[in-house]
Amino acid sequence: MTLLRAAAATAARRGARSAELDLDRLRADFPALEREHDGRRQVYLDSAASSQTPRAVLDAMSRYYLEQRANVHRGDYALAFEATLAYEAARDRIARFLGAPDRRGVVFTRGTTEALNLVAHAWGRRHLGPGDEVLLTVAEHHSNLVPWQLAARARGATLRFLPLTEEGELDLSALDRLLTRRTRLLAVTGMSNVLGARVPLAALVSAARSVGARVLVDAAQLALHERIDLAGLGADFLALSGHKLLGPTGIGVLAARPERLEEMDPFLAGGEMVDDVTLEGATWNELPYRFEAGTPPIAEAIGLGAALDYLEGIGFAAIRAREAALTRHGLALLDAGRGVRLLGPRDPARRAPVFSFSVVDASGDPIHPHDLATLLGAEGVAVRAGHQCARPLLRELGLSAVTRASCAFYTSLAELDALAAAIDHARTFFSRPRARG
Amino acid sequence: MLDELYQDLILDHHRRPRNKRPCPACSCRAEGANALCGDSLVVGVSLDGERIASVSFEGQGCAISQASASMMTEAVQGLSVADALALGGELRALLRGEAPARDLGDLQSLEGIARFPVRIKCALLPWTTLEHALAPPAAREERR
């Protein structure tokens, strides 16, 4: 433990010199980062699974529950007006954040998964048919794969997959072969939750558009790491989750070109999404409400809006600089000398500080990711072990599970040092001589 | 806390698994997997009437699942099918944190796992697979 503390102190000094943000002050905004584990500060390296939430988000959500608590879009009283205004202001906030030109294209969902299912179901049902193809990549999260498997099965369409290069990046040289006049849609992750590799979205979008295909970007991982400019990018659909973007759980966004949404029937049906209803049928409400059946997650939408305020207060320039420092530090620590095999590109410019890896113990035997994660967890280092909801990708890489340590801009270099020290400890733990049972 | 989970006996079974070998001729076989972890194993049993004459396993997984499989093969050797299934029930109770009515031998060393809820399924994978190997398909339907 002394080892960990010494490593942390060294890195804290180094971090104070290199980071432009006042990290201590910034981290104080995130109550959960203060949590202790066995008398030491907890080390949170699972931000790709769920980011931590700044107090400003909780305050905005509390304000709704304490002062503005009413349903939205109905009610002829002040509370209902205020709730509606706050909810719709969050939509404008998100449109601004994403560079979406039209608020009618910003649909609140429960998360990325629901947004992707919405498109696969409502757009796929209308636009996919026998002989049509959807191009995905082998690096997709299950939530941008399984909905398309179901849609393809229902509509007689075929799925194609862009492969990876040896370095763990998308192999764009295969685009010529895979993008054809049969391709109706390119559905691609903006950043793999496993590899951390940056994705050349602009090149992908323009290639897809040149054959007349629509483009969907799964931005669940991307959104915390890079500024998104939807209009500039020219994608048709983009999905993201609030809880990976400093916001609360239970809220996500589908941002789309309104003309795409106009040509789709609703996904979920119920209140709010209709215009007129008779016993025989219904007509649809205007956008975006056609895709928001039922009472929405109001507090969560407001919380997400506050999260984006917070994020833009920091600014993506500062975030990129912090992440570059974290990436370089992580790459230096997670190397073969430590028994670590790291996935994804080694060039810091080509990746975010999301590190998936396998580890061998001091005798050279592999440590199972769940054993490793349990050992790290016992030392207060929170990482994720398993297939990371990307089994096809891991199979492609010849692995059944990996350990992932993922950072956000609030992660400190000292936390990565603590990870390295805990890995060293685990390697000794599993290879040290034992009494016979 | 860690030493409670990874007791010496568990690590020993992990490093030197007992009865880890293929058993193509076994009369009862089943495959089991924890997709989330990527763990998978095959349990093979040879029965002599209602008695377990030999049991072996193969496959890959974390230290907990491998050690639990190894211990299981030793613990159920020579038991009747009913006693082996009952022993599995006693292990499940132990992993729920319940005090066992009797000494469970090497299996007792798995009790620390009760404090690591996400790892319980690792320890149970070999036992679930054994149950599938022993239970004829009809009986399995009923149990569901």
Q: What is the number of other CB atoms lying within 10 angstroms of the CB of residue B115?
A: 12
CB pairs under 8 A between A and B: 61
Do A339 and A358 fall into the same domain? yes
| A407 in Cβ contact with A326 (< 8 Å) | yes
A389 is catalytic: yes
Distance from C-alpha of A4 to C-alpha of A40, rounded to nearest angstrom:
10
Q: Do A437 and B12 touch (CB under 8 A)?
A: yes
Residues A235 and A94 in one domain: yes
Query: Are A376 and A297 contained in the same domain?
Result: no
Q: Which residues of B touch A395 (CB under 8 A)?
A: none
A436 lies in some domain: no
Whole-number pLDDT of residue B30: 95
Which residues of chain A does B5 touch, with a Cβ-Cβ cutoff of 8 Å?
A: 374, 378
A116 domain-assigned:
yes
CATH of residue A405's domain is 3.90.1150.10
- The span from the CA of A281 to the CA of B95, in Å, is 54
* Packed helices A298-314 and A78-98: angle between N→C axes, nearest 10 degrees: 40
Among B5, B12, B36, most A C-beta atoms within 10 A, so best to mutate, is B36
In a shared domain, residues A49 and A63: no
CA distance A29 to chain B (A): 30
Q: Which residues of A touch B109 (CB under 8 A)?
A: 437
CB contact under 8 A, B37 and A370: yes
CB nearest to B36's CB, from A368, A387, A434: A387
Digit-coded pLDDT (tens) for B17-36: 999 999 888 989 999 998 87
Domain assignment of residue B7, given as a range = 2-139
- Predicted pLDDT of residue B40: 92
Q: Is residue A437 part of a domain?
A: no
Contact call for A400 and B38, based on CB within 8 A: yes
Cα A286 to Cα A80, A107, A231, A260, A293: the distances in Å are 20, 12, 21, 13, 12
Mark B47-86 as b/e (b = at least 16 C-beta within 10 Å). Answer: beeeebeebbbbbebbbbbbbbbbbbbebbeebebeebbe
Output the domain CATH number for residue A137: 3.40.640.10
- Report chain B's terminal Cα–Cα distance, integer Å: 35
Residue A44 carries which side chain, given as an amino acid letter? Y
Alpha helix (H) residue ranges in A167-297: 175-178, 201-210, 230-233, 258-262
Residue B85 domain-assigned? yes
* Interatomic CA distance for residues A62 and B138, integer angstroms: 55
Long-range contacts of A167-174 (CB under 8 A, 24+ apart): A167/A344, A167/A345, A167/A346, A168/A195, A168/A197, A168/A343, A168/A344, A168/A345, A168/A397, A169/A195, A169/A197, A169/A344, A169/A345, A169/A350, A170/A137, A170/A139, A170/A197, A170/A199, A170/A200, A170/A204, A172/A200, A172/A203, A172/A204, A172/A207
Q: Do B37 and A430 lie within an 8 Å CB cutoff? A: no
**Residue A63: what pLDDT?**
98
Q: How many distinct structural domains can be found in chain A?
A: 2
Domain co-membership, A216 together with A104: yes
Q: Is residue B109 part of a domain?
A: yes
Whether B138 contacts chain A with CB within 8 A: no
Instruction: Report the domain count for chain B.
Output: 1
Among partner residues A386, A430, A436, which is closest to B37 by beta-carbon distance? Answer: A386
A356 and A262 within one domain: no
pLDDT in tens, B92-129: 999 999 998 899 999 999 999 998 888 999 999 999 99
Q: Are A339 and A267 contained in the same domain?
A: no
β-sheet bridge partners, residue A217? A188, A238
Most B-contacting residue of A361, A363, A367, A370 (CB-CB within 10 A), to test interface: A370
Contacts of B72 (CB under 8 A, 6+ apart): B55, B57, B107, B126, B127, B130
Give me the domain span that covers residue A243.
57-312
Tokens of B131: 């149950």
Contact assignment for B106 to A437 by CB distance below 8 Å = yes
User: Does B130 reside within a domain?
Assistant: yes
Angle at the Cα of B96 from the Cα atoms of B92 and B100, rounded to 5 degrees? 70
Which pLDDT score is estimated for A18?
43
Partner-chain contact B8 A378, CB within 8 Å: no
Give the residue numbers in A contacting B (CB under 8 Å), as ranges. Answer: 368-371, 374-375, 378, 385-387, 391, 394, 399-401, 429-430, 434-437
Same-domain pairing of A193 and A46? no
Residue B96 within any structural domain of the chain: yes
Query: Are A95 and A112 members of one domain?
Result: yes
| Boundary-marking domain end, from A270, A297, A312 | A312
- B61: chain A residues, CB-CB within 8 Å: 368
* Residues comprising chain B, all counted: 144
* pLDDT at residue B37, as a whole number: 78
CATH code of residue B81: 3.90.1010.10
Angstrom CA distances, A48 to A247, A421, A422, B112, stand at 13, 21, 20, 30
Nearest CA in chain B to A370: B62
Interface check B63 vs A, CB under 8 A: yes
CB contacts, 8 Å: B35 with chain A: 387, 391
- Mean pLDDT over B70-91 rounds to 96
Distance CA B93, CA B99 (A): 8
Q: What is the largest CA-CA distance in chain B?
A: 43
Instruction: Please identify, among A278, A312, A346, the residue that sits at the C-terminal boundary of a domain.
Output: A312
Residue B144 lies in a domain: no
Which residue is catalytic, options A118, A223, A389, A408? A389
Which SS3 state, helix, strand or coil, does residue A4 take? helix
Q: What are the structure tokens assigned to B139, written together? A: 């009986």
Task: Find how far residue A396's CA is from the centre of its chain.
Answer: 21
Cβ-nearest to B8 among A374, A387, A435: A435
Say whether B62 and A378 touch across the interface (CB within 8 A). no
Q: Which of A284, A312, A340 is the last residue of a domain?
A: A312
In chain B, which ranges are E strands?
A: 28-34, 39-48, 51-60
Per-residue pLDDT of chain A (437 residues; tens, 9 = 90+): 444 555 555 555 544 444 468 999 999 999 999 998 888 889 999 999 999 999 999 999 999 999 999 999 988 999 999 999 999 999 999 999 999 999 999 999 999 999 999 999 999 999 999 999 999 999 999 999 999 999 999 999 999 999 999 888 999 999 999 999 999 999 999 999 999 999 999 999 999 999 999 999 999 999 999 999 999 999 999 999 999 999 999 999 999 999 999 999 999 999 889 899 999 999 999 999 999 999 999 999 999 999 999 999 999 999 999 999 999 999 999 999 999 999 999 999 999 999 999 999 988 999 999 999 999 999 999 999 998 999 999 999 999 899 999 999 999 999 999 999 999 999 999 886 654 43
Q: Which residues of B touch A437 (CB under 8 A)?
A: 8-9, 12-13, 106, 109
At residue B7, the pLDDT reads: 87
pLDDT at A306: 98
Q: Is A325 left (phi over 0), alpha (psi -120 to 50) or beta?
A: alpha
Coil, strand or helix: which one is A227?
coil
Share above pLDDT 70 across residues of chain B, in percent, rounded to a whole number? 93
Alpha helices in A334-368 (DSSP H): none
Residue B22 domain-assigned (yes or no): yes
Is there a domain that residue A398 lies in?
A: yes
Query: Structure tokens of A329?
Result: 């530090």
Suggest the residue from A360, A361, A367, A371 to mutate for an interface test with chain B (most B CBs closer than 10 A): A371
Distance (Å) from the C-alpha of residue B36 to the closest C-alpha of chain A?
A: 6
Q: Are residues A230 and A83 in the same domain?
A: yes
Residue A197 is predicted with a pLDDT of: 95
Do residues A31 and A72 both lie within one domain? no
Residues A160 and A211 sit within 8 Å (Cβ to Cβ) = no
Extract the runs of DSSP E, i.e. beta strands, from A106-178: 106-109, 133-137, 158-162
Same domain, residue pair A322 and A175 = no
